[in-house]
Structure 1
Amino acid sequence: MTAPAEDLVVRRTYPDPVEDIWSAITESERLGRWIGTWTGDPTTGTVSFTMTGEVDAGGEEDDPVDVTIEVCEPPHRLVVDFPAGDASWHLDVTVSPHGGGSELVLVQRLDGSVPREDLAAGWTWYLARLAAAQSGEPMPPWDPA
């Protein structure tokens, strides 16, 4: 997938197989270990998502928001629209084999509501949290620098 220059692209490799990373980004209980949980029936195209990871950065648990699932192609691609204030974050996540593990590529369409640097720092932190959740290591501290 080639992303336009106005998109943020964050890549991360994991030693885990594709199916395991897919489960960590799509199963509510596993997702809750590093970013947040969802409820509802994904076959309807919408789930209610509660961001919980911000608590570890000194924030608060967010109110649930309805996330629209645009594409779900297990175990390789998930595209969602995630409400964020007055805007909507369009996220396109792919998971593919890489070496003996997998590579996750997250593409977020930039809309100008949040500076690129802030989004990059946030997604880098969250994907490091995913790595920690996978390995059983302590969660990394928030470091916006």
Structure 2
Amino acid sequence: MTTPQATGRPETRQDGEWIVFTRHFTAPIEDVWAAVTDSERLGRWIGTWTGDPASGSVTFRMTAEDGMPEEVHHIEACEPPWLLRTRARSEGLDGEDHDWRVEIRLTDDRDGTTLHFGQVLPRPEWAHKIGPGWDYYLDRLVAAETGGDVSGIDFERDYYPALVPVYQQRFPITPQQP
């Protein structure tokens, strides 16, 4: 495996501060869409969901992290095969409940599909902990979809805390005003 890279970048949007990642696949857009929405294919790299998406929410269970509780993800937008936006409410790094909003946008390129993955940062100073995690999961997605060894991707050995300094530079913590 190659050395993992910190690929997340900051993006300011009308609804807050985001961390955004990009991955490219030589696969058609419909195939990449299935990799990020089909429960069985999601299970190969991050987790599975149950429920009826037509109801507006599903229950998501991470399979790559032991002991993580199931979360209800509300579907805010679903426009196959271009856009998926969800929101879950759960405990943040400060012990308080926060909305965790994620967005997946796919673009059809001449030579495949580009995935744009973003998450709103409930607090921008959390990027140094959230960034390495999404690099880890998105690298697992790439491995799962290209025949790589997903089990050989090690979060603690290669991602955290190794990528923390890069994220601390990209997302500097600004002092809070009293």
TM (norm. structure 2) is 0.73
The letter of the residue matching 2:118 is V
Task: List structure 1 segments (4+ residues) > 4 angstroms apart after TM superposition.
Answer: none
2:128 corresponding residue in structure 1:
117
Kept in 2, the 8 Å contact 1:13–1:98? The answer is no
1:70 corresponding residue in structure 2:
76
2:12 corresponding residue in structure 1:
4
Q: Considering only aligned residues, what root-mean-square deviation do their CA atoms show, in Å?
A: 1.5
What 5-or-longer segments of structure 2 have no aligned partner?
1-10, 92-96, 163-178
1:46 is the counterpart of 2:57: yes
**Structure whose CA Rg is larger:** 2
Identity %: 38
1:141 corresponding residue in structure 2:
154
Deviations 1:50-97 (A, max 9, x none): 01112xxxxx14221111000000001000002331112111110111
Counterpart CA distance in 1 for 2:110 and 2:22 is 14
The letter of the residue matching 2:86 is V
Deviations 1:3-45 (A, max 9, x none): 4162111111112111111001100000010000000000000
How many residues in Structure 1 have an aligned counterpart in Structure 2?
A: 138
Give the SS at the match of 1:79.
Answer: strand
2:137 corresponding residue in structure 1:
126
